[in-house]
């Protein structure tokens, strides 16, 4: 695996791969890689001959009171994991490489509707920053395929909407959420949890499963159970940001009779904010 830090060096490697008729895949990450990230690399490898992973902790998507300075950075371990996963290139640029004119002078990408509400309400500006860096990475690499995790469901929906709306040719692939044995979705933020908080965290997925099973059985949303699941999390010591049911395609509020739904939860355990989701397909 080659590691490059500049756009010109990355483009040269991608151009060489294309001259060899190779299909190119991109896996954007912010590093501190775990098994969920590595599953994205494997997913990309199944769909392409040349896999590029990026590691860039994007300051543009962090709010004023968020954890940019303390975001975990593990470059040596990340590189070893990527090598073992069969990644071809690691793109690890400095902030100045991605934002050469500074972030205040950076054109910002806004994806309306799908970026609003849910985490968009709790983290103002987050999805604008995320969409901006993703479109920059897509333009730099121009991959045939880009792979994102379904755990960040709203992020995936924003990227898909952006790519469709801007007539881009990259195929956006969502890879299934990877979970610990007790159901907790793997996340870099899990490392912030104390032992006691980590024991509490699986209540998010348990509540999602309970609600999903009810919807499959009744073919409708039981509002009383929705409230009971929310209360179950609160009673466990979780500060629930949202626990909602949306249309799986566009994240619009779920209407009666909708057949493809997604349950989404965001909550804080101590100071750590976790998200998770579960789709329900009644078709």
Q: What is the pLDDT of residue 208?
A: 98
Domains annotated for the chain, with CATH where assigned, are 2-175 (3.40.50.620), 188-277 (3.30.1300.10)
Percent of the chain with pLDDT over 70: 100
Q: What is the pLDDT of residue 258?
A: 84
Name the band, by pLDDT with cuts 50, 70 and 90, for residue 170.
Answer: very high
Q: What is the pLDDT of residue 256?
A: 81
Q: Are strands 24-29 and 145-149 parallel, antiparallel or unpaired?
A: parallel
Q: How remote is the C-alpha of 272 from its chain's centroid?
A: 17
Q: What is the pLDDT of residue 69?
A: 87
Q: What is the pLDDT of residue 70?
A: 86
Q: Tell me the mean pLDDT in the region 69-86.
A: 95
- b/e per residue 1-17 (b: at least 16 CB within 10 A): eeebeebeebeebbeeb
Mean pLDDT of the chain: 96
Residue 63 has pLDDT above 80, yes or no: yes
pLDDT by residue (tens digit) across 101-136? 999 999 999 999 999 999 999 999 999 999 999 999
pLDDT by residue (tens digit) across 8-33? 999 999 999 999 999 999 999 999 99
Weakest-pLDDT range from 46-50, 97-101, 158-162, 255-259: 255-259
Which pTM does this prediction carry?
0.96
Residue 174 has pLDDT above 80, yes or no: yes
Q: What is the pLDDT of residue 36?
A: 97
Widest pairwise Cα distance in the chain: 59
What kind and span of H or E run contains 240? strand 239-247
Q: Tell me the mean pLDDT in the region 72-95.
A: 97
Q: Are 90 and 3 in contact (CB under 8 A)?
A: yes
pLDDT by residue (tens digit) across 177-205? 999 999 999 999 999 999 999 999 999 99
Q: Tell me the mean pLDDT in the region 39-49.
A: 98
Active site residue ranges:
37
Beta-carbon contacts of residue 3 (< 8 Å; ≥ 6 apart):
79, 89, 90, 92
161: which 2 tokens? 């909407």
Residue 145 has pLDDT above 80, yes or no: yes
């Amino acid at each position: 695996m080659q590691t490059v830090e500049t756009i010109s060096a990355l483009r040269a490697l991608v151009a060489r791969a294309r001259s060899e008729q190779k299909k190119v895949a991109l896996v954007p990450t912010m590093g501190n890689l775990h098994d969920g990230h590595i599953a994205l690399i494997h997913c990309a490898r199944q769909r392409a001959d040349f896999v590029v992973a990026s590691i860039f902790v994007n300051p543009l998507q962090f709010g004023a009171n968020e954890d940019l300075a303390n975001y975990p950075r593990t470059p040596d371990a990340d590189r070893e994991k990527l090598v073992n996963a069969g990644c071809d290139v690691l793109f690890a640029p400095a902030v100045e490489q991605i934002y050469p004119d500074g972030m205040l002078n950076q054109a910002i990408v806004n994806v309306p509707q799908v970026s609003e509400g849910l985490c968009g309400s709790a983290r103002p500006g987050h999805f604008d920053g995320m969409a901006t860096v993703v479109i920059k990475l897509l333009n730099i690499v121009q991959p045939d395929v880009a792979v994102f995790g379904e755990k960040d469901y709203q992020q995936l929906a924003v990227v898909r909407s952006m790519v469709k709306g801007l007539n881009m040719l990259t195929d956006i692939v969502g890879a299934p959420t990877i979970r610990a044995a007790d159901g907790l979705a793997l996340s870099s933020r899990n490392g912030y949890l104390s032992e006691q908080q980590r024991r509490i965290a699986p209540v998010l997925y348990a509540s999602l499963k309970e609600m999903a099973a009810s919807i499959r059985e009744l073919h409708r949303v039981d509002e009383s159970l929705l409230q009971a699941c929310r209360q179950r999390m609160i009673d466990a010591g979780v500060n629930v940001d949202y626990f909602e049911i949306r249309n799986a395609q566009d994240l619009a509020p779920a209407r009666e009779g909708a057949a493809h739904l997604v349950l989404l939860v965001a909550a804080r355990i101590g100071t750590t904010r976790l998200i998770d989701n579960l789709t329900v397909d009644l078709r």
